[in-house]
Amino acid sequence: MTQAELKAKIEMQMSSLDANDWLLLVNNNQHADIVEELEQFSAEKTAALLIKLPNPELASLFGYFSPSYQDELLQAIDETEQLRLFKAMARDERVDVYQRLPEEEQKGILPKLAKQEQEDILQLASYADGTVGAVVTSAYVAIPENMTVIEALRYVRKNAAEMETIYQVYVVDKQQRLIGTMSLRELMTEKDDATVSEVMRTDLVSVSAEQPQQDAADAIRRYDLLSLPVTNGGNKLIGIVTVDDAMDVDVVESTEDFHKGGGTLALKDVSLREVSTWTMFAKRAPWLIILVFANMFSGGVIESYEDTILTYVALVFFLPLLVDSGGNAGAQASTLMVRALATGDLHLKDWLKTLGREFWVALLLGIAMAIAVYGLGVYRGGTDIALVVSISMVAVVFAGSMIGMSLPFLLSRLKLDPATASAPLITSIADFVGVLLYFYIAVTILGGSGA
């Protein structure tokens, strides 16, 4: 079915509300596609359709809505349906929804759930935003070490419906400590009567619930895992992170780094389709305003060379180019470094080697740009000006590149996020260094006096 056909069918359902037809439609189409269409309607209309569905389909569809639409849906259904939804949902999604509820409603709904569900929600809700704990699910297969392979397979089969994944099982001791793991594939190819503890893998990769989410995504990518066990301080298994959640983490974290690199503060969990004018302003203004204050210094430098400018006004023609060149070369270098540090391609210890190469790259870039600008310099200001502009270009591009390259390492060293080395920050620094170098070189070559 094409997306357009799906849309037409859903519209029909909106008016007919035939529970059987609707269930058939839901079972025969991708839930992500169905939700994309449902989100075009009001939450009330969508809710009327959703509550016609049995638990598994209800829970699965609900998980695909955007957080803000999920919240609207919850408000559009009555408490009985809210409870049914809460019981059916994937546990990692359930706790997210719960945490976004107003405190009053949290207190209303919690006591109505089963004790085990309450505990599950409260435990998962205790982890800070951005930590592994906030994407962990407790619906994983854990088996005791003394089970046989065939017993384990039967256990998996019996519990398959409730689990987030059954393709990796985790072996625990009596204290619920993680001691081994087996993939379903390994279980299926081992002898039926082997004891799990004899055939399990013990080269475990795990993360603790307090680590940043990116650590979990990195481990899953590095070791090609389908799920990653999550432990608390005492190596006690508390849940798993699945590869589909890890993919989402990768995208969210990359997006955050993108935004930071462009000089926008992190937009958490917000779609650009929905974000308000005011939020957008608040996230973008800070770095731009810092740029204005940085001008106190670079403007001051220019002022101190007022006489030079009045004598050689042609210098002004190249001023924007020179400060931009330093800023852009610096932004190139910092972008490369920030990304390489984020993906693990570079580490702190690579700083010196990378600096060594950047030295030559920056010099070559400066020389290439100096050659490119020389002709322009002669044309607009004569050979003297051309010489000043060309030498300044080498100096400015070189300085900008070295700063842009080193800043992310420095921030990383100080345990700060290297992505803070944003374009506006680099620009501000490059402006100041650029005008300083430019006018110093101008006065040296052309004569006259500066500050």
Which is closer to a second copy, CB of 77 or CB of 394?
Answer: 394
Kindly state the smallest distance separating residue 28's Cβ from a second copy, in Å.
5
- Position 317 contacts a second copy (CB under 8 A): yes
- Position 427 contacts a second copy (CB under 8 A): yes
46, 335, 392, 406: residue in contact with a second copy (rule CB under 8 A): 335
Part in contact with a second copy (CB under 8 A); list of ranges 14-22, 96-104, 105-113, 242-250: 242-250
157, 177, 236, 413: residue in contact with a second copy (rule CB under 8 A): 157
- Position 222 contacts a second copy (CB under 8 A): yes
Coil, helix or strand at residue 169? strand
Q: What angle (nearest 5°) sits at the alpha carbon of residue 222, between those of residues 218 and 228?
A: 65
Part in contact with a second copy (CB under 8 A); list of ranges 133-141, 232-240, 333-341, 440-448: 333-341
- Position 328 contacts a second copy (CB under 8 A): yes
Kindly state the smallest distance separating residue 316's Cβ from a second copy, in Å.
5
- The DSSP bridge partners found for residue 177 are 236
User: Between the CA of residue 109 and those of 47, 72, 126, 196, 203, what are the distances in Å?
Assistant: 19, 16, 17, 40, 42
Taking alpha carbons only, the member of 332, 443, 309, 303 closest to residue 397 is 332
Which is closer to a second copy, CB of 120 or CB of 257?
Answer: 257
- Position 281 contacts a second copy (CB under 8 A): yes
Please report which helix (H) or strand (E) contains residue 228, including its range.
Answer: strand 227-231
Q: How many chain residues interact with a second copy (CB under 8 A)?
A: 113
Please report which helix (H) or strand (E) contains residue 170, including its range.
Answer: strand 168-172
Query: 421: which DSSP letter?
Result: S
Residues numbered 79-138 forming contacts with a second copy, rule: CB under 8 A: none
CB atoms within 10 A of CB 324: 17
User: Between the CA of residue 361 and those of 134, 323, 395, 398, what are the distances in Å?
Assistant: 43, 19, 13, 9
123, 392, 434, 441: residue in contact with a second copy (rule CB under 8 A): 434
Which is closer to a second copy, CB of 12 or CB of 340?
Answer: 340
Which is closer to a second copy, CB of 77 or CB of 136?
Answer: 136
- Position 364 contacts a second copy (CB under 8 A): yes
Phi, then psi, of 40 in degrees rounded to 5: -75, -20
Residues numbered 17-36 forming contacts with a second copy, rule: CB under 8 A: 28-30, 32
Which is closer to a second copy, CB of 133 or CB of 366?
Answer: 366
Q: Which tokens in the block code for residue 327? A: 């800023």
Q: 354: number of CA atoms within 13 Å, CB side?
A: 23
Please tell me the distance from the alpha carbon of residue 413 to that of residue 252, in angstroms, as a whole number. Answer: 24
Part in contact with a second copy (CB under 8 A); list of ranges 7-15, 42-50, 103-111, 200-208: 200-208
- Position 360 contacts a second copy (CB under 8 A): yes
Kindly state the smallest distance separating residue 283's Cβ from a second copy, in Å.
9
Coil, helix or strand at residue 141? strand
Residues numbered 160-199 forming contacts with a second copy, rule: CB under 8 A: 160-161, 166-167, 184-185, 188-189
Which is closer to a second copy, CB of 55 or CB of 80?
Answer: 55
Taking alpha carbons only, the member of 443, 447, 298, 319 closest to residue 393 is 319
Q: Which tokens in the block code for residue 215? A: 């650590």
11, 162, 192, 248: residue in contact with a second copy (rule CB under 8 A): 248
Q: Report whether 408 contacts 421 (CB < 8 A).
A: yes
Phi, then psi, of 225 in degrees rounded to 5: -95, 155
Which is closer to a second copy, CB of 98 or CB of 312?
Answer: 312
